[in-house]
Structure 1
Amino acid sequence: MRAIRMERFGGPEVLELAEVPDLEPLRGHHLLRVSRAGVNYADVHVRGDSYLAPVTLPYTPGNEVVGRTADGKRFVGLTQGGGYAEQALVHRLTSWEVPEEVSDEQALALCLQGNSAYHLLHTVVGLRAGEKVVIPAAAGGLGSIAVQLAKELGATVIALASTEDKRRLAEKLGADIVVDSTSDNLTEDITKAAGGQVQAALEMTGGATFHSVLDAVANRGRLAVYGYASGETAEVPTKVLMERSITVAGFWLPSLFSDRQALRTSMNALFGAVHEGSLHPVLGQVYPLNEASAAHANLAARTHTGKLSLDTAG
């Protein structure tokens, strides 16, 4: 089969198309003929050797796929690498049969980023109706879903996005307020637009942006950290947390892989929301498998909107 292989860490150019042996069936897994593979910031960190979990070279990146089993059933699933390929093994605990009314591209958008958005809001910050919440990268795969889920919960959504087009998209998705995420006065812009500090916030940029968002969180507020897209991590003095009684919680989706109920609950809710029409995943560009490097360059440049994916037939 064809797959993207990394023989070294580095820029997008290290993602090379190669012929590798076909996969063998594995007990407890579904063997899929992959139709689409998701592209995520986690893959960028893997490529640059800055991912939370170390990888061993040579390596095929990709943590989510959708495809069919030999008997024709369609599944979407999470993997721990190996997704950028024509075949993939997905564990039965982290894969779900896709309802007929949900497309491959929609299912893929729900798998990693949809599940993450759901648990960031429900499990980590426990968002409640009437609260104000900051959602970053609001036109991206995860952020665009989080905007819609937060509105369904009855929250006031302050969406962060870097361009006018992305801010307009966030508004169309239901954001109450949009703020330029590249502002040099981000804390002031958030609090001014929101009419004060917010009760909850998500953060995935790191560095100075992390501190700007944290400063916009009210006393006894909650901040969920799920990335550092800038490449810079951040530290918080415990004195600050105690003085303001702020909760800062980290989140990494694989921490839920061993939970037999958590992801099943969120996937059922997400599939249901798409079916009912209350959730509309934003579908971004689809690249041929042999253009994985271009997909990574687009993602890293943050010029995209919605969910990026690879077509394994291309």
Structure 2
Amino acid sequence: MSATSPAKLNPAKRSTFRQGLLRFRKEAFFQYMALTGGVFLLVFSYLPMFGIVMAFQDFDPAKGYIFSRFVGWYHFWMLFSDDAFWVSARNSVILSVAKFALTFVSPIILALLLNELRPSFFKKFVQTASYLPYFISWVVIASMATTFFSGGADGILNPLLVKFGMLKEAIPFLTYPGYYQVITVLLDVWKFTGFSAIIYIAAMAGIDHEVIEASIVDGTTRFQRVYKITLPMIQNTIVVILILGIGSMFTGGLGGSNFNYGYLLGNTLNMSASDVMDTYILRMGLQLGRFSFAAAAGLLLSTISLILVFLANWVAKKIDRDEQAIF
């Protein structure tokens, strides 16, 4: 009895396969782009997740993942008993909450203000000037901040404050923990507000102008139009940005990573405020060689972020009957 090929047994499947192959050839350029992105995601995002096992091992680089001794939850217990960890966790929460609150609200306000302006040179100038800081390197921003807030004669802020009698003597702002937190939060607002506002401006561009014109005929004020028309029309965008921001809150939220400022502007004098969980993990893992301990701290941070994403999504579902959630 001669064997029959699967293609002959399933002509419908063979036809579907041919159609898929034909479609792939027509869209070859885009398919290869998607495939490249998928490979990149696999290599740099999913395969490294195997390193999570380090958190449960007494990892030895010479032995590797397979032969390193398994210690279970030991590193997590040691983590919770480390005072430096709790200091970095406290700083992460303070900075992240402050940055999240300001970098979430400020782009919406800026977008609403720009949306109310008529097309003009001033509107274009403000929009361009506001999002240009986003493209400035973190290192450049840190250098600018160091120069601007320097307590020496080469600083910018201190000589002005002393000249106008607001200070008796120069203050090295970046060496004071309290000043450090305020400065980094304001730098994040300056860097990200303009760029984040583009998302909301794009959402406002999709609002039906007939609705706005009808409200003008009804005699509504600008504030009423913003509150009753513009904000409800872009609430889906706001909720999506909110959920994503909450998910990354402990690593910097909608603004940049807490690590950037902590690493570039942190020093021994402001360490009580600048040491965040990211710099703590770097110090433990690469500087002190406690790889498993650092992996445990990183896994804890990632787990908290994942829980926050699901929690924010669940709250969004409960508020608006599944219409506002991402998944």
Higher-helix-fraction structure: 2
Larger Rg: 2
Higher-strand-fraction structure: 1
Greater relative contact order (Cα 8 A, min sep 6): structure 1 or 2? 2
Q: Same fold (TM over 0.5)?
A: no
Give the TM bin, normalised by the shorter chain: under 0.3
